[in-house]
Amino acid sequence: MYKVSQPQKNKLNLYYNNDIIGYIVITISKNSEIIINTIYIYEKHRKCGHLKSIWPLLEIELFKSNGNGTIWLIAKELYEYYGKLVRLYESLGFSVDINKEEKCKYVGEYMYRYVYMRKEPN
């Protein structure tokens, strides 16, 4: 059974069968938009489909806490996995913001792709 904690200092913990599987860090802007700064699933819980399963609960909590404003995130993915993370977020209802330019940046020896995405309330 999945569960999302109440927001505490802009952080929500994610649970599966009472085990913490990850967390999300958010910022709520002055115009009631939510910016997802981090979605983190702990290593041992990755590739299990947890984010897709818990997303409906998380989305309810996010929209409830911001008065149904837009949810924004920046998908930061390794360039070698081009599109994989963006497709995951698209499957959760996000769309690429065509008004923001995609950026690529080296961090050490790895190149990352930054894609601005948004989700409107249903």
Residue 59 above 90 pLDDT?
no
Domain range 1-69, CATH architecture: 3-Layer(aba) Sandwich (3.40)
pLDDT confidence bin for 44, thresholds 50/70/90: very high
Query: Residue 100 contacts by C-beta under 8 Å, 6 or more apart in sequence?
Result: 116
Q: Quick check: 75 and 117 in contact, CB under 8 A?
A: yes
Segments making up each domain of the chain, as ranges? 1-69, 73-122
What does the pLDDT read at residue 65? 66
Quote the Cα angle for 76-113-23, to 5°: 5
**pLDDT tens per residue, range 69-110:** 788 999 999 988 899 999 999 999 999 998 988 999 999 999
Q: Which of 92, 95, 94, 112 is nearest to 103 (CA)?
A: 112
